[in-house]
A and B are shown apart, each in its own frame.
Chain A
Amino acid sequence: MSHSKTFLIISRRPPYGSSHARDALDTALTTAVFEQPVAMLFQGDGVLQLLKGQEPAAVRQKNLGATLSALPMYDIENLYACADALAQRGLTQDDLILPVQPLDRAGIAALIRNHDVVLNF
Chain B
Amino acid sequence: MATLEIEGRLIELDNEGYLRDLDCWSPAVARALAQREPLELTDAHWEVIEVLRDFYLRFEHAPAMRPLVKAVAQQLGPDKGRSIYLMKLFPESPAKVAARLAGLPKPTNCL
Any chain A CB within 8 A of the CB of B94? no
- Say yes or no: A73 contacts B67, CB within 8 Å: yes
Interface size class, chain A: 10 to 19
Residues of B48-69 at the interface with A, using a CB-CB cut-off of 8 Å, are 55, 58-61, 63-67
Q: Count of chain B residues with Cβ under 8 Å from any Cβ of A?
A: 16
- Say yes or no: B59 contacts A74, CB within 8 Å: no
- Write the chain B residue with the least CB distance to A74: B67
Any chain B CB within 8 A of the CB of A33? yes
Question: Given that A26-B109, A73-B70, A73-B71 are contacting pairs, would A33 and B64 also be in contact in the complex, using a CB cutoff of 8 Å?
Answer: yes
Any chain A CB within 8 A of the CB of B28? no
Partner of A70, one of B61, B110, B111: B61
Question: Given that A73-B70, A73-B71, A75-B66 are contacting pairs, would A33 and B109 also be in contact in the complex, using a CB cutoff of 8 Å?
Answer: yes
Against B, the Cβ 8 Å flags (1 = close, 0 = not) of A100-112 are: 0000000000000
Q: Which residues of B contact A66 (CB under 8 A)?
A: 58-61
